Amino acid sequence: MEVSIDVIKLLLPEVLVNYFKLTKHELKQGELHFYFTELNTVPQEFKALKLSSKGFFPEATVQDFPIRGKNVFLHIIRRRWINESTKKIVIRDWQLVAKGTRITSEFATFLKQISQ
State pLDDT tens for residues 38-92.
Answer: 999 988 788 888 999 999 999 988 888 788 889 888 899 999 999 999 999 988 8
Percentage of the chain with pLDDT > 90? Answer: 34
**Domain boundaries defined on the chain:** 5-114
Residue 97 has pLDDT above 80, yes or no: no
Count of C-beta atoms within a 10 Å radius of residue 105: 8
Count of C-beta atoms within a 10 Å radius of residue 86: 9
The size of the chain, in residues, is: 116
Percentage of the chain with pLDDT > 70? Answer: 76
Do residues 50 and 83 make contact, with C-beta atoms less than 8 angstroms apart? yes
Number of helices and strands (H, E) in the chain?
4, 7
Longest alpha-carbon distance in the chain: 50
Q: pTM, whole model, 2 decimals?
A: 0.75
